[in-house]
């Protein structure tokens, strides 16, 4: 080999090696924190949908991102410490499900971008300035599309069981959204000319007593709206509802899947996948303040005919034809 060619090749190789090493070092691995209220066993399916959404957008855990999950086991008192752990993890983005988790993340991370995806009325909760212009470091998706969801649930309950006139409302008074949810349900109750019996349940230890009180409440049916605690203990609640011999409308399809009679709700998996698109935009340079908050676009009506049969109830065929899923 010509000496000049050899030296040129050697020099070029020596110069290229540091450049290649530098390029490898420059490939940043972004850190994503994920904070939610239920337990891992309860909420893993939704978390998986979020991760699938990231993968579809080219973000692979262990390659160009590192996702750190924190589940509060339905104990909201743990959320501040879990949020602080994600701050110490130096998360580039924190994804938070439910109002309590978003509040904890907001208090712990004043400037870190936060993507919410299971929140109820974030404007009323003071999390964003408006849906169109959130401002600050929080954006994402709401869990409901407004008070209409409760009116729709109650109307479907009446359509299925026309004699319904008095409804038991199971609510958790310890949640940050209790007053807001109650206010919206009251509006729907009034519009449909129904009567209601409020049943407060602040802890799973209250479940048995709450359902035992239904016998003296003289109600025709129940509404169990969205709540992290109800979601975590959905199988137990579905069993108690069955034993009460009352038809019940549930706030999520997952309740019907474990024995609840009927549910009309948003699709949690769809919201989780859409949350990944917000993370994608933020990692690519967008600011949360400039990303409008989105509302649900996918709703599901589900009936469990096994439960209907056990209760001796018949769902009108016209409603079954409208269902997105019929569990037989």
Q: State yes or no: pLDDT of 108 exceeds 50.
A: yes
Query: Do 188 and 84 fall into the same domain?
Result: no
| Of 13-22, 95-104, 131-140, 183-192, minimum mean pLDDT range | 13-22
Query: Do 133 and 281 fall into the same domain?
Result: yes
Against a cut of 0.75, is the pTM above it? yes
Query: Do 87 and 50 fall into the same domain?
Result: yes
274 domain residue, yes or no: yes
Residue count (the chain): 328
7 domain residue, yes or no: no
Per-residue pLDDT tens over the stretch 185-236: 999 999 999 999 999 999 999 999 999 998 888 999 999 998 888 988 999 9
pLDDT bin (cut points 50, 70, 90) of residue 124 is: confident
Query: Do 254 and 272 fall into the same domain?
Result: no
114 domain residue, yes or no: yes
Give me the residue label for tokens 């019940």.
248
Query: Do 124 and 80 fall into the same domain?
Result: yes
pLDDT bin (cut points 50, 70, 90) of residue 27 is: confident
Query: Do 163 and 291 fall into the same domain?
Result: no
Does residue 272 contact residue 53 with C-beta atoms inside 8 Å?
Answer: yes
Domain limits at 168?
148-266+300-327
Query: Do 194 and 114 fall into the same domain?
Result: no
Among the listed residues 47, 117, 123, 43, the one whose alpha carbon sits nearest the alpha carbon of residue 274: 117
22 domain residue, yes or no: no
CATH number for the domain harbouring residue 46: 3.40.50.2300
Largest CA distance in the chain: 101
222 domain residue, yes or no: yes
pLDDT at 175: 84
State the average pLDDT over residues 79-106: 96
pLDDT at 26: 54
pLDDT at 180: 83
State the average pLDDT over residues 175-182: 85
Q: State yes or no: pLDDT of 142 exceeds 90.
A: yes
| Six token digits for residue 64 | 């160009």
**Please, what is the angle between helix 40-56 and helix 268-283, to 10°?**
50
Per-residue pLDDT tens over the stretch 29-72: 999 999 999 999 889 999 999 999 999 999 999 999 999 999 99
Query: Do 322 and 219 fall into the same domain?
Result: yes
Among the listed residues 200, 260, 209, the one whose alpha carbon sits nearest the alpha carbon of residue 235: 260
C-alpha distances out from residue 264 to 122, 148, 155, 223, 302, Å: 21, 12, 11, 11, 6
| Of 17-31, 72-86, 204-218, 306-320, minimum mean pLDDT range | 17-31
3 domain residue, yes or no: no
Q: State yes or no: pLDDT of 157 exceeds 70.
A: yes
Query: Do 323 and 249 fall into the same domain?
Result: yes
pLDDT at 152: 94
pLDDT at 67: 97
Query: Do 182 and 315 fall into the same domain?
Result: yes
| Of 94-108, 144-158, 254-268, minimum mean pLDDT range | 144-158
pLDDT at 30: 98
């Amino acid at each position: 080999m010509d000496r000049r060619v050899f030296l040129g090749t050697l020099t070029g190789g020596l110069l290229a090696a540091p450049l290649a090493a530098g390029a490898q070092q420059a490939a940043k691995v972004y850190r994503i924190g994920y904070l939610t209220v239920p337990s891992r066993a309860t909420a893993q399916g939704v978390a998986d949908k979020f991760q699938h959404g990231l993968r579809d957008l080219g973000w692979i855990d262990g390659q160009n991102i590192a996702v750190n999950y924190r589940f509060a086991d339905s104990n909201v008192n743990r959320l501040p410490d879990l949020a602080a752990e994600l701050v110490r993890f130096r998360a580039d983005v924190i994804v938070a499900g439910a109002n309590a988790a978003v509040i904890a993340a907001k208090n712990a991370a004043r400037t870190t971008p936060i993507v919410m995806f299971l929140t109820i009325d974030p404007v009323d909760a003071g999390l964003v300035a408006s849906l169109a212009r959130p401002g600050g470091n929080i954006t994402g998706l709401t869990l409901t599309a407004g008070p209409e969801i409760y009116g729709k649930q109650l109307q479907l309950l009446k359509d299925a069981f026309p004699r319904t006139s008095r409804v038991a409302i199971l609510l958790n008074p310890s949640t940050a959204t209790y007053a807001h949810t109650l206010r919206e349900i009251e509006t729907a109750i009034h519009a449909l000319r129904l009567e209601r019996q409020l049943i407060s349940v602040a802890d799973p230890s209250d479940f048995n007593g709450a359902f035992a009180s239904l016998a003296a409440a003289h109600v025709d049916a129940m509404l169990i709206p969205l709540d992290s605690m109800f979601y975590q203990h959905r199988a137990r609640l579905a069993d108690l509802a069955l034993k009460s011999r009352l038809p019940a409308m549930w706030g999520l399809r997952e309740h019907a899947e474990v024995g609840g009679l009927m549910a009309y709700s948003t699709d949690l998996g769809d919201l989780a996948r859409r949350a990944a698109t917000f993370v994608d935009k933020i990692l690519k340079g967008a600011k949360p303040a400039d990303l409008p908050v989105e509302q649900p676009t996918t709703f599901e009506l589900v009936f469990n005919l096994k439960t209907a049969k056990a209760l001796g109830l018949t769902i009108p065929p016209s409603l079954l034809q409208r269902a997105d899923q019929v569990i037989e």
